[in-house]
Structures are given as structure tokens and as C-alpha cells.
């Protein structure tokens, strides 16, 4: 085991990528990078990380910012609950820890949006605490290196992987160890085409010996994808148009969208006019015309979006007072789901 770790460290020292959050011990910046990088590619995440550090140089600046501003900066990154949790956690650190990021692993783990992996990453990178960071890259790398056939998506199997990591980490620098293991998974032992010819631990790789590389890691659960039909109505009035803030417990909470009619299947012009009428108190008759349809893929949902347009000379009296009038200048300051932003920017 020692020789394997030695080779991984040697490879990491020569080949690691120079990433801004690796050149700091500042727990705020490390936490920020870890939250941004959950479910996000490094290239995209890096631009957001730099934008957040520029706008909020410390955790108090982030805590004191209005949530709408944070959501706007997060726009396009997806998984918006991360941005809401980022703000909640910053407020907790400001109020409960006087603006100093907690050092204790158990306290870090209690922050909103911080799970086992993120807490271990922060504790090791910022404070040298010996907690192995087990992310998807490390799961895959270990599954292959030791030819482990225990499914990685069954929580009971986490212990198998954690025990191996604990043993490998003993006597090593925790930050370098975690970084090196993740980097091996991200750069060498990649999902589809692992670079076994240049892998520093190929001589010890059990999956290579057993010819099971393509079968590792094992996953048993299938992700159920839900199909939804969203009809967005662009209602134009007096040079402006209407938007609505999403408030329910659903995707895109606290982001702005065009007034929405969700249906169980595609709607035609007659049915959309009837549905729209139910959103309006008065007798204003609106007959939207179909504009375009877009399929928008999220991890667990396929959104079949139809965009409809209608012009009115009378401001509609909406049943729901969260539908408000905006204009082509003001809407650019609102945090929007990427689907809506793309539509409005190309009008």
C-alpha cells in the first residue's frame, strides 16, 4: 500500500493542475470552490469561483449580500439550492462564529449544503485534518485499483472505501493525499477511457489484471427522469413584459420566469388561451400564439418547454400578485433559469 501511495504522490507533484483554490488555505475560498464544483466541470466552475471571490472577498460580504444578487451571479450554473445554501451557511458563520469559518469537522458538517465529502475536503485542505474526501472520482479510482464490485451507490458500502482511504492516508499529508487521489480519478482513471498506459499504479491495478475496468465502478440504481411540460407566456404590454418569481419547493426556487402554465402534455392554441384565462381575474382576453419549443435537460427532469407570445393593450389583472411587469433593461438584473435567459436574450 505504501508503494502505491508513494507513486500517486510522485505523479501528483509532477502533473497536478494549477487551480486557484489549491493555492490557498483560506477556508472560505476552499468552501466556496467545493460548493461551486459539486456537479460542475472545473472549466465552468473556475469562472464562477473567480466571479464570487471578486464580488464577495470574504464570508461576511457574502452573508450581507441580498439573496437575489447571489442568485443572479449563480445564474447558468444550475442546482440553485447550492446558491441558497451558500447564503444560509454564510449567515450562520457570520452570526454564530463571528465571521470565522469553523475549524472543527463536526461543525463544518452541520453547515447547510455541506455533506461528508465537502466537510472532509474543507477540513483537510484548510486545516490539515485527516479526513479522506470520497467523491465520484475517488470511488471510481479505488473501485478499479482494488477491483471492488460493491455498488458505490449503496450507502452501506461507503465504509469499504473509507477504510481503504484511511489506511492509505496514514502518515501522509491529508491535503495532498485527498487532492492526489481526486486528481488521479479526474485525469488518469477517467470514466470512459482511463489512461492505463500512463497510469503510475497500473502495476498494482486489480481491475486491469482481472479485465474488469469497464465494469468498475458498479452502480445499481437507475436515475428516474421525470418529463414535464412547461408553457411559458411572453405577455407584452407597453414595451415591457411580465415575469413571475418561483417560490414553491421545486426546481429554480427564487428565480424569475415568464408566467407559467404546466400541463400534463403538449397544449394547442385553444387550450393555452383557456388555461391563461384562469390566471386572470378580469375579462381581458389573451390569445397567445406559439413561438418555439425547446427541450431542456436537467439531471432528473426533462423539461419540454413551449414559448407562447401575446400582446395586450390593457394590463391584465392577474389572480396571482407575484406576476409583475418588467422591461428589457430591468430583467437583465433578475436571476433567471438558463432556459428563460436564453429565450429572452434571443428575442
Binding positions for ligand SF4, rule: CB under 6 A: 141, 144-145, 188-189, 194-196, 199, 201-202, 205, 207-208, 213
Pick 103 or 206: Cβ nearer ligand SF4? 206
CB of 9 to ligand SF4, least distance (A): 15
- Measured from the CB atom, the residue of 137 and 244 that comes closer to ligand SF4 is 137
CB of 7 to ligand SF4, least distance (A): 10
- The C-alpha cell that represents 171 in the structure block: 502518515
Q: From 241, 232, 326, 340, select the one nearest 288 (Cα to Cα).
A: 232
Residue 333: CB partners within 8 Å, gap ≥ 6? 72
Nearer to ligand SF4, 149 or 195 (CB): 195
CB of 216 to ligand SF4, least distance (A): 8
CA distance 44 to 143: 27
Question: Which of 7, 34, 107, 304 is labelled catalytic?
Answer: 34
Q: To 5 degrees, how large is the angle CA 94–CA 96–CA 99?
A: 30
Based on CB atoms, which residue is closest to ligand SF4, 4 or 77? 4
**Do 254 and 246 touch, CB atoms closer than 8 A?**
yes
What SS3 state is found at 277? helix
> Cα 288 vs. chain centroid, distance in angstroms?
34
Decide whether 30 or 180 has the Cβ nearer to ligand SF4. Answer: 180
The CB-of-162 to ligand SF4 minimum distance in angstroms stands at 19
Task: Name the phi and psi angles at 284, rounded to 5.
Answer: -55, 125
Question: Judging by DSSP bridges, how do beta strands 226-237 and 301-311 pair with one another?
Answer: parallel
CB of 204 to ligand SF4, least distance (A): 8
* Paired residues of 257 in beta bridges: 244
Q: Residue for cell digits 483537510?
A: 124
Catalytic residue status for 34:
yes
Q: Which three cell numbers stand for residue 39?
A: 456537479
List, by residue number, the catalytic residues: 34
Amino acid at each position: 500500500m505504501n508503494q502505491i501511495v508513494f507513486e500517486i504522490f510522485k505523479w501528483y507533484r509532477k502533473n497536478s493542475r494549477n487551480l486557484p483554490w489549491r493555492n490557498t488555505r483560506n477556508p472560505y475560498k476552499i468552501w466556496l470552490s467545493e460548493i461551486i464544483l459539486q456537479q460542475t466541470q472545473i472549466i465552468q466552475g473556475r469562472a464562477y469561483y473567480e466571479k464570487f471571490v471578486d464580488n464577495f472577498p470574504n464570508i461576511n460580504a457574502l452573508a450581507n449580500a441580498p439573496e437575489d444578487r447571489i442568485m443572479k451571479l449563480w445564474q447558468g450554473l444550475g442546482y440553485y439550492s447550492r446558491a441558497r445554501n451558500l447564503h444560509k451557511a454564510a449567515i450562520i458563520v457570520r452570526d454564530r462564529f463571528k465571521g470565522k469559518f469553523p475549524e472543527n469537522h463536526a461543525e463544518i458538517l452541520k453547515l447547510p449544503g455541506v455533506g461528508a465529502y465537502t466537510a472532509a475536503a474543507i477540513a483537510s485542505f484548510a486545516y490539515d485534518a485527516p479526513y479522506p474526501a470520497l467523491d465520484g472520482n475517488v470511488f471510481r479510482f479505488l473501485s478499479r485499483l482494488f477491483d471492488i464490485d460493491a455498488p458505490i451507490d449503496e450507502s452501506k458500502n461507503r465504509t469499504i472505501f473509507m477504510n481503504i482511504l484511511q489506511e492509505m492516508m496514514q502518515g501522509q499529508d491529508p491535503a495532498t493525499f485527498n487532492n492526489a487521489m481526486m486528481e488521479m480519478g479526474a485525469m488518469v482513471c477517467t470514466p470512459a477511457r482511463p489512461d492505463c498506459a500512463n497510469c503510475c499504479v497500473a502495476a498494482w491495478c486489480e481491475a486491469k489484471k482481472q479485465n474488469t475496468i469497464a465494469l468498475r465502478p458498479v452502480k445499481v440504481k437507475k436515475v428516474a427522469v421525470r418529463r414535464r411540460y412547461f408553457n411559458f407566456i411572453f405577455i407584452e404590454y407597453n414595451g415591457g413584459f411580465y415575469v413571475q418569481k418561483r417560490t414553491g419547493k421545486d426546481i429554480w426556487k427564487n428565480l424569475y420566469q415568464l408566467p407559467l402554465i404546466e400541463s400534463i402534455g403538449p397544449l394547442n392554441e385553444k387550450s393555452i388561451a383557456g388555461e391563461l384565462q384562469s390566471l386572470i381575474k378580469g375579462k381581458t382576453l389573451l390569445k397567445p400564439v406559439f413561438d418555439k419549443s425547446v427541450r431542456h435537460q436537467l439531471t432528473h427532469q426533462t423539461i419540454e418547454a413551449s414559448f407562447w407570445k401575446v400582446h395586450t393593450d390593457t394590463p391584465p389583472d392577474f389572480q396571482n400578485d407575484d406576476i409583475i411587469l418588467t422591461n428589457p433593461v430591468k430583467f437583465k438584473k433578475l436571476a433567471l433559469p438558463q432556459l428563460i435567459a436564453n429565450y429572452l436574450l434571443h428575442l
